[in-house]
Chain A
Amino acid sequence: MDIDEYRLRDEPYYRTIGDEVRLFEAAYAERMPLMLKGPTGCGKTRFVEHMAWRLCKPLITVACHEDMTASDLVGRFLLDAEGTVWHDGPLTLAVRHGAICYLDEIVEARQDTTVVIHPLTDDRRVLPLEKRGELVRAHPDFALVISYNPGYQSVLKDLKESTKQRFGAIDFGYPDAAIEAEIVAHEAGIDRAAADLLVAIGQRSRNLRGHGLNEGTSTRMLIQAGRLVARGIAIEAACQVALVVPITDDEDIRRALTAAIAALV
């Protein structure tokens, strides 16, 4: 596997909101494992990509899911005609070659899976490959970043205390209206007035969080709506397609959102 495939060539667009870039750089300099907290679609993944580009490091992203086992992260033996062959998992790859490993939505993975990162996230910085009888010492450039969405499901799914306490954390939220409009305008390629309107719509929908919606519309959704607007779709129709219909199946809430959008346009 060629690690250079994981390098980012072009700068991913990221609009700085606070001093998160400086914080990340400082944490990386110390190789402190980082946790990015925030609702879905608020720019966590984009931020990591941007930082990997800035620091000129390869980035290996793993989307965690509940069926994931430790060997999905670490690697496994596979059988072929000659015998058993060891294949490094994404985490081992990052540890060996000094990449930034980004575990997206870590709470989705089962708690016993996530403990494999423990020896990597304290001063040992090693990854034991039990099956191979190998102890991989982390490349000096290796760093671990995880993302975590403290949404409503965190009652049932949560990180182990012992996992949590190994990380530094940066809190992400939806940016202020002006900054969010700037992001939407840039990413969707629409004028500022249309972006302002979309952001106002997004903010109203976030008022419904917990009153019918699990999450408000994310910046990502607003950008999607903006892209449709850029293609010449009327703003109300674009919002239907990109915001209202995807976010809920509840007829009452859909009607309320549609009416709220109509009030703003």
Chain B
Amino acid sequence: MAQGPSRAAGNKPERRLPHFALVDPLALQALEQGTAGVEFADVERELKAYVTALWRRTPPLRVLPGGGVEAARRTSFEGGIIRVPRAFRGWAGRSGRELFRAALAHVLAHLQFTPARFPLGGLKPVQVALVSLIEDARVEQLAIAQYPGLRRLWLPFHVADASDAVTAPALMARLARALIDPGYADPHGWVGKGREMFFADPSAWQEPGLSRTIGGLLGNDLGQMRVQFNARTYVVEPLYRDDHQGLWDLPTSTAPADVEALQESVRLEGRQQDSLGGGRASGDETANRATLVPAGREIGIPVARYPEWDFLIGRERGEWTTLVEYAPAQGQGETIEVVLERYPELVWRIEALIRAAKVSRPLRVRRQSEGDRLDLEAAIAAAIDRRAGLAPSAKVYARLERRFRDLSVLVLIDASHSTNDVIGAAGKSVLELERDAATLLGHAMDGLGDPFALHAFCSETRENVHYYRLKDFNEEWNATVKRRLAGLAGRFSTRMGAALRHAGRELAHRRSYRKLLLFISDGEPSDIDVADRRYLVEDARRAVLSLRQQGIDVFCVGLDAAGDGYLARIFGRGNVVQIDAVERLPEKLPLLYFRLAG
């Protein structure tokens, strides 16, 4: 098979053949560009909304990889993911949209009414094709009973006609039409038989076994008619129907990349559960083992020494802690992209809030001592006060003001070992929830255009407080940042003070009117070289106080339900929000941010 570029074919006819036979990938691409249909990317939002409205669910939609003829002509669904061709060639404008809609409506009918995959058993290819065909018709009839308008959507794509040649694909297309189009008459006996069996008892449509029975019988008949069926060239007709991959219990093979991405998240969860498996003691053991391996590779740069407050002597110990910055590990960027899909409703709410917050609407400020116009109400009130013998207020002016956002935010994430605890029914660890929350928050802050940084920390003794810069103020919210966020792992302890001081120093250099340090923590400050529980709490409190003196707002989101006492001690009662149901952190955090920054 010739794979070379079409230009290279020159004058040699034998090399032009692959070009016109569309075997040559470049030729294919040229053809696809020439007859550009509606691209899936253009209609994705609309289709998602359509599916959500009618079926109340939003399965993930992906574009089928590759531009080959066979690979991208039919939709496909498997494992809850729907794959759609990038475009249906030659279907432009309105009909292109309708084709996508018809294709998705068909897949959703399967998702609703095909409860389980059919076992392949000893079925012949022709029987497989026919069972699938009957199953298609069955789910469509059930869907039409629910949504009568779908028949009008699907019918125009059934173009098979009684005058078509008597080949297996043509007969099957005619049967498909006969099973959905009541106004279609077909003289062929086989088609008539199929129709009769299918419509004999509409109440039997509820049973998927019906497809197996009728499809098997019709397959035998087709075999006896000596009509050739070639499974290799067979393509499902009409165009909007799926490729039947999702109907059968086949060994999975398609689209490895996506499956991998899905498995990746599963694997992550599995690993964390493993490390928690053997009770408390062995859990610590795993933690030690896990840190030994990367420690060899991980090289940190000590960047600063910070004092620590000793409440017993009432004095700061100078240069007591060493802060070491490490390059953050990189994970799978897709895990972060998936987060946004997992919370569609929340993303929508965030975007609505961004739109609302972005418009810098002029604000009428009333009762001012100076301004460019009179505040009539205040003026009347003043006149009345004068007559009543009271002292009138001089604040009788009003002016219009535009308020601009001028805010820098540093989000500091606690990545200590305790964040590996799996909580809630969702089976997610605290760290994963922190990551989801940070992703949504990043999405919100990026949308608002507020400069923000995303840092994380953990500590092993005062000599080594780990600090990770996931995103700096001058970095874009891009794929690299997302990979770093995905690579975040929970280890070691929580020495808050040093990390707070370092983050504060970073913020102090920002030239913003407001500076906000948002601290996400799941537990009490602790470290292995400190025995007194109060010591690190008092030090963190000291750090927060000094930041506040520098004009930095420090706000803490606590994930420890029992943390009321020490968190309020560190940050002050008004500056802590306790989230009792940690599962709801991703939902709460961005909304909390809007409140803090609004």
Chain A residues proximal to chain B, CB less than 8 Å: 67, 69, 71, 76-79, 83-84, 131, 152-153, 155-156, 204-205, 207-212, 214, 252-253, 255-257, 259-265
A-B contact pairs, 6 of them (CB 8 A): A77-B380, A84-B387, A155-B595, A211-B345, A253-B45, A260-B53
- Contact present for B50 and A260 (CB under 8 Å): yes
A255 to chain B, nearest CB (A): 5
- Contact present for A263 and B344 (CB under 8 Å): no
A238 to chain B, nearest CB (A): 15
Query: 1/0 per residue B47-87: CB within 8 Å of A?
Result: 11110111010100000000000000000000000000000
Complex Cα distance, B105 from A264, in Å, reads 13
- Contact present for B49 and A263 (CB under 8 Å): no
Complex Cα distance, B475 from A62, in Å, reads 50
- Contact present for A152 and B97 (CB under 8 Å): no
Complex Cα distance, B356 from A212, in Å, reads 15
- Contact present for B48 and A255 (CB under 8 Å): no
- Contact present for B345 and A210 (CB under 8 Å): yes
B153 proximity list for chain A (CB < 8 A)? 262-263
B377 on interface, CB distance cutoff 8 Å: yes
B381 proximity list for chain A (CB < 8 A)? 77
- Contact present for A152 and B353 (CB under 8 Å): yes
Beyond A212-B45, A255-B50: 4 further Cβ-contacts under 8 Å?
A69-B377, A253-B45, A256-B53, A264-B148
- Contact present for A79 and B380 (CB under 8 Å): yes
B388 on interface, CB distance cutoff 8 Å: yes
Given A152-B353, A205-B53, A263-B105, check contact A255 B46 (CB 8 Å): yes
* Complex: chain A residue closest to B151, CB-CB: A263
- Contact present for B349 and A210 (CB under 8 Å): yes
- Contact present for A265 and B49 (CB under 8 Å): no
- Contact present for B49 and A257 (CB under 8 Å): yes
Complex Cα distance, B108 from A33, in Å, reads 48
| Residue among A69, A209, A214, A255 with the highest chain B CB neighbour number at 10 A | A255
Partner of B147, one of A153, A207, A263: A263
Complex Cα distance, B377 from A71, in Å, reads 10
* Complex: chain B residue closest to A77, CB-CB: B384
Complex Cα distance, B344 from A45, in Å, reads 32
A260 proximity list for chain B (CB < 8 A)? 50, 53-54
- Contact present for A155 and B152 (CB under 8 Å): no
* Complex: chain A residue closest to B50, CB-CB: A256
Given A210-B345, A210-B348, A263-B147, check contact A155 B49 (CB 8 Å): no
- Contact present for B149 and A211 (CB under 8 Å): no
B239 on interface, CB distance cutoff 8 Å: no
A252 proximity list for chain B (CB < 8 A)? 43, 45-46, 49
B471 on interface, CB distance cutoff 8 Å: no
B388 proximity list for chain A (CB < 8 A)? 84
B52 proximity list for chain A (CB < 8 A)? 207-208, 211-212
- Contact present for B344 and A210 (CB under 8 Å): yes
Given A211-B348, A256-B50, check contact A262 B56 (CB 8 Å): no
A257 to chain B, nearest CB (A): 7
B187 on interface, CB distance cutoff 8 Å: no
- Contact present for B353 and A155 (CB under 8 Å): yes
B54 to chain A, nearest CB (A): 5
* Complex: chain B residue closest to A69, CB-CB: B377
B150 on interface, CB distance cutoff 8 Å: yes
- Contact present for A156 and B353 (CB under 8 Å): yes
Partner of B48, one of A76, A156, A204, A211: A211
A218 to chain B, nearest CB (A): 16
A204 proximity list for chain B (CB < 8 A)? 53-54
* Complex: chain A residue closest to B101, CB-CB: A259
B383 on interface, CB distance cutoff 8 Å: yes
Given A155-B594, A207-B56, A211-B49, check contact A264 B384 (CB 8 Å): no
Complex Cα distance, B595 from A78, in Å, reads 38
B148 proximity list for chain A (CB < 8 A)? 263-265
Complex Cα distance, B149 from A261, in Å, reads 8
Query: 1/0 per residue B359-377: CB within 8 Å of A?
Result: 0000010000000000001
B508 on interface, CB distance cutoff 8 Å: no
- Contact present for A79 and B48 (CB under 8 Å): no
A71 proximity list for chain B (CB < 8 A)? 377
* Complex: chain A residue closest to B591, CB-CB: A155
* Complex: chain A residue closest to B49, CB-CB: A256
Given A84-B387, A265-B149, check contact A212 B348 (CB 8 Å): yes
CB within 8 Å of A: which B555-573 residues: none
Partner of B152, one of A76, A209, A262: A262
Complex Cα distance, B352 from A14, in Å, reads 34
A263 proximity list for chain B (CB < 8 A)? 54, 105, 147-150, 153
A131 proximity list for chain B (CB < 8 A)? 384
Partner of B595, one of A156, A255, A257: A156
Query: 1/0 per residue B324-364: CB within 8 Å of A?
Result: 00000000000000000000111011001100100000001
* Complex: chain A residue closest to B353, CB-CB: A155
Complex Cα distance, B345 from A207, in Å, reads 11
| Residue among B45, B53, B54, B594 with the highest chain A CB neighbour number at 10 A | B53
Complex Cα distance, B38 from A255, in Å, reads 15
B101 to chain A, nearest CB (A): 6
Given A69-B377, A152-B353, A264-B147, check contact A208 B383 (CB 8 Å): no
- Contact present for B598 and A156 (CB under 8 Å): yes
| Residue among B147, B381, B387, B591 with the highest chain A CB neighbour number at 10 A | B147
* Complex: chain B residue closest to A71, CB-CB: B377
Complex Cα distance, B388 from A164, in Å, reads 36
Complex Cα distance, B97 from A161, in Å, reads 49
Complex Cα distance, B50 from A261, in Å, reads 10
A84 proximity list for chain B (CB < 8 A)? 384, 387-388
A153 proximity list for chain B (CB < 8 A)? 356
B346 proximity list for chain A (CB < 8 A)? 210
Complex Cα distance, B384 from A209, in Å, reads 50
* Complex: chain A residue closest to B380, CB-CB: A79
B48 proximity list for chain A (CB < 8 A)? 211, 256
B46 proximity list for chain A (CB < 8 A)? 252-253, 255-256
Complex Cα distance, B598 from A259, in Å, reads 38
Complex Cα distance, B45 from A210, in Å, reads 13
* Complex: chain B residue closest to A262, CB-CB: B149
* Complex: chain B residue closest to A206, CB-CB: B53
Given A84-B387, A155-B353, check contact A212 B598 (CB 8 Å): no
* Complex: chain A residue closest to B55, CB-CB: A207
Complex Cα distance, B44 from A255, in Å, reads 12
A265 proximity list for chain B (CB < 8 A)? 148-149
B279 to chain A, nearest CB (A): 42
- Contact present for B54 and A214 (CB under 8 Å): no
Query: 1/0 per residue B447-475: CB within 8 Å of A?
Result: 00000000000000000000000000000
A191 to chain B, nearest CB (A): 18
- Contact present for B344 and A211 (CB under 8 Å): yes
Partner of A79, one of B50, B348, B364, B384: B384
Complex Cα distance, B369 from A236, in Å, reads 57
B472 to chain A, nearest CB (A): 28
- Contact present for B49 and A212 (CB under 8 Å): yes
B43 proximity list for chain A (CB < 8 A)? 252
Query: 1/0 per residue B153-174: CB within 8 Å of A?
Result: 1000000000000000000000
B139 to chain A, nearest CB (A): 15
- Contact present for A207 and B53 (CB under 8 Å): yes
B58 proximity list for chain A (CB < 8 A)? 211
CB within 8 Å of A: which B1-59 residues: 43, 45-50, 52-54, 56, 58
A13 to chain B, nearest CB (A): 29
| Residue among A67, A253, A255, A259 with the highest chain B CB neighbour number at 10 A | A259
- Contact present for B53 and A156 (CB under 8 Å): no
CB within 8 Å of A: which B403-455 residues: none
Complex Cα distance, B293 from A88, in Å, reads 78
B353 proximity list for chain A (CB < 8 A)? 152, 155-156
